[in-house]
Chains A and B, each alone.
Chain A
Amino acid sequence: MTAMNLIQALNSALDVMLEHDPNVLIFGEDVGYFGGVFRVTDKLQEKYGATRCFDTPISEGGIIATAIGMGAYGLRPVAEIQFADYILPAYDQLVSEAARLRYRSGGEFSAPITVRSPYGGGIFGGQTHSQSPEAIFAHVTGLKTVIPSNPYDAKGLLIAAIECDDPVIFLEPKRIYNGPFDGRPDTQVKTWAGHPQADVPEGHYTVPLGKAAIAREGDEVTVLAYGTMVHVALAGIADSGVDAELIDLRSIVPLDIDTIVASVKKTGRCVIFHEASRFGGFGAELSALVQERCFDHLQSPIDRVAGWDMPYPHAFEWDYFPGPRRLAEALKRAMEYN
């Protein structure tokens, strides 16, 4: 085991897979010689050569199109989109091609690609370095969407994603690359040092796609979260004094519906917490699923705490970002409902 931050854990996953499987290739803008703007591919070109880890033209549509072609040939490409905000030029390739290639060819061709991309706010990145686009991928059948919340899961999930025979969108919460973030911008910046989930095995292991983790056990309310918001939720739960059970979804497609249902049946209450704006967000799907499957067990309305319905506003980062206070209020509301 080695202490790793989230960046190092991802780098280690890529390193293991390059070593392990000659069909794995890594490419994207600035990922080659430079090692990526967030250093996730640091030293991989040096170690494995330029044909295993290389730079691309600035063309997200081109990056994903070529990844799909390589995948169809039999490789396992891992493409990086520098910021999830810039994945949209590739959306057609993901939706119309990657997601359907196996189905429409009657199983003749498929696209076993992994698309890594840093996402989310809390870094004063303004409207084009802050967005959380998970819902627009979750809506597309044929794509898997994975979001880790700590170094251990990040490495295990990324290896599982690369080994997966389906296209996987792997969203990396960049605010917690270097340390967990509790949603309070005015407190001391934390690193991953000493965090139990920053203890990462050096070799190959996987964390299965579609299996949620219980980040905190509790009896009174179920909180559903993923990515950065897992840490913000822990702070909000502590503030609220409510004995909440926190589920870290880890992958939103496939979704671990059994863990969610078991928890809500136990607690009788559910609050969904995500950074993306609320309307049509992934929380809407979660809310519908919980209502459909746990209606007779619910003691209060399902609530959603999310970003406001607007572009991410630079000066108002912390007015937009759903912090621990808003979650704590929702938890108390759920408990007071009768």
Chain B
Amino acid sequence: MTVPNRPTLSLHIPEPSARPGEAPSFAQFDFGTAGAVRRPDSAEPETAMRDLPYELIRVLDEDGKAVGPWNPRLSPDVLKRGLRAMLLTRIFDDRLFRAHRQGKTSFYMKSTGEEAIGAAQSMMLGAGDMCFPTYRVLSWLMARDYPVVQLANQIFSNADDPIKGRQLPMMFSARDYGFYSLSGNLGTRFGHAVGWAMASAYKHDDKIAIAYVGDGTTAEGDFHEALTFASVYQAPVILCVTNNQWAISSFVGFAGGDKTTFAAKATAYALPGLRVDGNDFLAVWAATEWAAERARSNRGATLIEFFTYRVAGHSTSDDPTKYRPLDEPEKWPLGDPIVRLRDHLIAIGEWDAERHQALVDDVTQAVKDGVKQAEAVGTLGQSKPDIATMFEDIFAEPDWRICEERKTMGL
């Protein structure tokens, strides 16, 4: 008998490239070059595009120019609207984050650095399409001019909260804006988007669905189940992974993101996988347009990984300096999506410092006015919807338990 000459087993636990006190490093990633990735026709079979999940689709180059085959050639007007939606998101986030520190709300989550994703997709897709969001796509609503005051009313859980005080701040629902009801449970709506898309196909409509999960959430079974159904039924849906490198304190390695790309998960389901610079408004737009065209022409689902970075803490309950280098956010090689779109507008001669400042002032004022209006209705605890509404919407019609309990409260 021969004894194999190998060491004993040992348990592998992944580690990020840098921890607090160390220098941030992104050497493990290949960021490619703007304009370098080919753009196959969206009608081509998935088998002909298995290189794409390992590339990084970028349009804006270092000089703010739009380059390469994925350039969506958007009008300056569209770009300016996109910039506005992103700025609204950023400035609203900052203001409401402060409101939490002042005790005006129980919780808040920012999407700093990820604003391009929701904004470009919201503008690109149609009014009849449905977005199945995470808590980090506020810019979807901003791009569709959802009233700031309504957002703040929800965040304050006040008497005018459009969803009646039922949910944690940020867990919006805005059906008329193509924004499906959010919940704290990660990943549980990914499959709803597939079902919604299957329903549209069954009805011979032309509506499509779009859904998001974070990098961390790809570990949930819901992610894989949704991909299977999307593949089997060729559902007209765009499935997105916003890979912002962190899931609270866990780096992407805890979702397998250090060994392959998230876009590459598509291949095993025979779906096209695109990997896209999420901080590049134009690249986000172009990839979405490509996937939407494919979905609307009955060719099924696409998985898109948006490669981005979570600049802020996970939420108001988090302190990211405890687990990642302090300067890691500012060292992110793909920059800030707002700065990059601004610089692009300047590079094409459509923008300048004055106009930008005027836009910032205008948006700041709009946020201030909306939030003030909501504060006048009341912040958390100062005002809430009528208590009797607490007993509504549990079932379509309340049963005897709910009627009795309501009576016990004297309502």
Could you say which residues of chain A place their CB within 8 Å of the CB of B10? 51
* Contact between B249 and A55, CB atoms less than 8 A apart: yes
Interface assignment of B34: CB less than 8 Å from any CB of chain A: no
CB of A24, distance to nearest CB on chain B (Å): 14
Could you say which residues of chain B place their CB within 8 Å of the CB of A219? none
- Residues of chain B in range 380-411 having any CB-CB distance to chain A below 8 Å: 380, 384-385, 387, 390-391, 394, 401-402, 405, 409
* Contact between A309 and B402, CB atoms less than 8 A apart: yes
Interface assignment of B165: CB less than 8 Å from any CB of chain A: yes
Picked from A29, A59, A128, the residue with its CB within 8 Å of the CB of B221 is: A59
- Residues of chain A in range 264-312 having any CB-CB distance to chain B below 8 Å: 278-279, 308-311
* Contact between B184 and A129, CB atoms less than 8 A apart: yes
Picked from A129, A279, A315, the residue with its CB within 8 Å of the CB of B385 is: A315
- Residues of chain B in range 238-294 having any CB-CB distance to chain A below 8 Å: 247-250, 254-256
CB of B155, distance to nearest CB on chain A (Å): 11
How distant is the Cα of A58 from the Cα of B223 in the complex, in angstroms? 11
Produce 1/0 per residue, A117-150, CB < 8 A to B. 0000000111111000000000000000000000
Could you say which residues of chain B place their CB within 8 Å of the CB of A127? 166-168, 183-184
From known contacts A55-B250, A61-B221, infer whether A316 and B13 are also in contact, taking CB-CB under 8 Å: no
* Contact between B217 and A58, CB atoms less than 8 A apart: yes
How distant is the Cα of A67 from the Cα of B188 in the complex, in angstroms? 23
Q: Which residue of the partner chain B has the closest CB to A129?
A: B184
Produce 1/0 per residue, A10-50, CB < 8 A to B. 00000000000000000001101110010000000000001
Q: Which residue of the partner chain B has the closest CB to A86?
A: B185
How distant is the Cα of A313 from the Cα of B106 in the complex, in angstroms? 13
From known contacts A58-B216, A59-B220, A85-B185, infer whether A33 and B168 are also in contact, taking CB-CB under 8 Å: no
Interface assignment of A56: CB less than 8 Å from any CB of chain B: yes
From known contacts A33-B249, A85-B185, A309-B401, infer whether A58 and B255 are also in contact, taking CB-CB under 8 Å: yes
Could you say which residues of chain A place their CB within 8 Å of the CB of B216? 57-58
CB of A133, distance to nearest CB on chain B (Å): 13
* Contact between B402 and A37, CB atoms less than 8 A apart: no
* Contact between A310 and B394, CB atoms less than 8 A apart: yes
- Measured as residues with beta carbon below 8 angstroms from the partner, the interface class of chain A is 35 or more
CB of A319, distance to nearest CB on chain B (Å): 6
Q: Which residue of the partner chain A has the closest CB to B165?
A: A315
- Residues of chain B in range 308-359 having any CB-CB distance to chain A below 8 Å: 317, 322-323
Interface assignment of B157: CB less than 8 Å from any CB of chain A: yes
Could you say which residues of chain B place their CB within 8 Å of the CB of A57? 216, 219, 254-256
* Contact between B255 and A308, CB atoms less than 8 A apart: no
How distant is the Cα of A209 from the Cα of B271 in the complex, in angstroms? 51
Interface secondary structure of A, over-half rule = loop
Interface assignment of B193: CB less than 8 Å from any CB of chain A: no
How distant is the Cα of A127 from the Cα of B184 in the complex, in angstroms? 8
How distant is the Cα of A62 from the Cα of B184 in the complex, in angstroms? 19
* Contact between A126 and B184, CB atoms less than 8 A apart: yes
Could you say which residues of chain B place their CB within 8 Å of the CB of A308? 390-391, 402, 405
How distant is the Cα of A59 from the Cα of B222 in the complex, in angstroms? 9
Could you say which residues of chain B place their CB within 8 Å of the CB of A315? 157-158, 161, 164-166, 380, 384-385
Produce 1/0 per residue, B1-26, CB < 8 A to A. 00000000011010100010000000
* Contact between A37 and B248, CB atoms less than 8 A apart: yes
CB of A40, distance to nearest CB on chain B (Å): 14
* Contact between A319 and B390, CB atoms less than 8 A apart: yes
Interface assignment of B186: CB less than 8 Å from any CB of chain A: yes
* Contact between A58 and B247, CB atoms less than 8 A apart: yes
How distant is the Cα of A125 from the Cα of B315 in the complex, in angstroms? 13
Q: Considering only CB atoms and an 8 Å cut-off, how many residues of chain B contact the other chain?
A: 48
* Contact between A313 and B255, CB atoms less than 8 A apart: no
Q: Which of B171, B184, B323 has the most CB of A within 10 A?
A: B184
Q: Which of B157, B185, B249, B317 has the most CB of A within 10 A?
A: B249
CB of B259, distance to nearest CB on chain A (Å): 12
* Contact between A56 and B167, CB atoms less than 8 A apart: no
Picked from B13, B220, B249, the residue with its CB within 8 Å of the CB of A30 is: B249
How distant is the Cα of A294 from the Cα of B167 in the complex, in angstroms? 42
Q: Which residue of the partner chain B has the closest CB to A315?
A: B165
From known contacts A309-B405, A315-B161, infer whether A34 and B248 are also in contact, taking CB-CB under 8 Å: yes
Interface assignment of B107: CB less than 8 Å from any CB of chain A: yes
Could you say which residues of chain A place their CB within 8 Å of the CB of B107? 124, 126
Q: Which residue of the partner chain B has the closest CB to A60?
A: B220
Produce 1/0 per residue, A311-325, CB < 8 A to B. 101111001100000
* Contact between A314 and B165, CB atoms less than 8 A apart: yes
* Contact between B248 and A30, CB atoms less than 8 A apart: yes
From known contacts A33-B19, A58-B216, A58-B220, infer whether A316 and B390 are also in contact, taking CB-CB under 8 Å: yes
Interface assignment of A181: CB less than 8 Å from any CB of chain B: no
* Contact between A34 and B402, CB atoms less than 8 A apart: no
* Contact between B249 and A320, CB atoms less than 8 A apart: no
- Residues of chain B in range 206-221 having any CB-CB distance to chain A below 8 Å: 216-217, 219-221
* Contact between B390 and A124, CB atoms less than 8 A apart: no
Produce 1/0 per residue, B29-51, CB < 8 A to A. 00000000000000000000000
Interface assignment of A203: CB less than 8 Å from any CB of chain B: no
Produce 1/0 per residue, B76-116, CB < 8 A to A. 00000000000000000000000000000011000000000
* Contact between B322 and A34, CB atoms less than 8 A apart: yes
Q: Which residue of the partner chain A has the closest CB to B105?
A: A124
Q: Which of A34, A125, A127, A314 has the most CB of B within 10 A?
A: A314
CB of A205, distance to nearest CB on chain B (Å): 30
* Contact between B168 and A125, CB atoms less than 8 A apart: yes
How distant is the Cα of A97 from the Cα of B376 in the complex, in angstroms? 53
How distant is the Cα of A308 from the Cα of B401 in the complex, in angstroms? 9
Picked from B15, B183, B401, the residue with its CB within 8 Å of the CB of A128 is: B183
How distant is the Cα of A58 from the Cα of B248 in the complex, in angstroms? 10
Could you say which residues of chain B place their CB within 8 Å of the CB of A124? 106-107, 168, 380
- Residues of chain A in range 58-91 having any CB-CB distance to chain B below 8 Å: 58-62, 85-86, 88-89
How distant is the Cα of A196 from the Cα of B134 in the complex, in angstroms? 44
CB of A183, distance to nearest CB on chain B (Å): 16
Could you say which residues of chain A place their CB within 8 Å of the CB of B187? 58
From known contacts A85-B185, A315-B157, infer whether A51 and B11 are also in contact, taking CB-CB under 8 Å: yes
9 contacts between A and B (CB under 8 A): A33-B323, A34-B249, A57-B255, A62-B219, A88-B185, A124-B107, A125-B106, A314-B168, A315-B157
Q: Beyond A57-B254, A124-B106: 13 further Cβ-contacts under 8 Å?
A: A30-B249, A30-B250, A37-B317, A50-B13, A55-B13, A57-B255, A59-B221, A85-B184, A129-B184, A279-B401, A308-B390, A308-B402, A311-B166
